[in-house]
Amino acid sequence: ILLLNRYGLFRWCMLSSIIRIRSFGHIKCKSLARAMSSHAPIIINGSAEVDSSVIFLHGLGDTGHGWAAGFESIKQPNVRYIFPTAPTIPVSLNFGMPMPSWFDIFGLSHTDREDEQGIKKAASSLIAMIEEEESKGIPSSRVIIGGFSQGGAVALYTAVTSDKPIAGIIALSSWLPLHKQIASTDTKNKEASVFQGHGDADPMVNVSFGKMSSQLLQSKGHSKYIFNEYNGMSHASCDKEMIDVKNFIKSTLKPKNP
């Protein structure tokens, strides 16, 4: 079932999961189908000299197109934005139905079994994307990694387990996976800035899971931390959150040559 909410966001309510994608406005149905079948990342280049990058991962069942439109209106002139699409795999939460997913999901509770192998494989893929930006002349210290829901989980895990320095992390309606392992080890990228946004009416990833992730990472020494809670927002985004994301990127990735 596809529903259009007041922010111009489509929600697909399927089984016990909600998959969130953005509206494509004027794109015709056949063009949309072709776009969603492509696994090439969507890339939005800045209008000025690019000296930084943002790599943003979509949530379960979405594609890179799902967030590209939303970032188009908040893009910074010195930043390149990359929106990859996850591989299509069977998802246990949805009775094995194949869909774009960064890793398998078994349940919606923070105590449910986790796909450790899949999470680590997704993190390796994200590191490869950062290295691709490095090959284009953008140091990892000028890269923000982020995502929505499952995509944000991959970004958080990658940041705190990788030796590669990054500029920042964006995690929207998300959580830190494999948190028990993280709690018992030292974390990386303590100097990176973190922005977490979460709706207090989220029925899929309860805001308490996001808060627990924030508290754990701050207890591990991640001090440059912003956790914003949005009143009445469910498992989606809103205009206020996107403005906050814009300001976070703007302050974290200031132009080298203003």
* Catalytic residue IDs: 149, 202, 235
Is the CB of residue 148 less than 8 Å from the CB of residue 173?
yes
The token pair that represents 42 in the structure block: 């969507």
Are the C-beta atoms of 81 and 75 separated by less than 8 Å? yes
Q: CA-CA distance, 85 to 63, in Å (whole number)? A: 5
**115 Cβ contact partners less than 8 Å away, ≥ 6 residues apart:** 103, 104, 105, 106
Q: Is 127 exposed, middle or buried (0-12, 13-18, 19+ CB in 10 A)?
A: middle
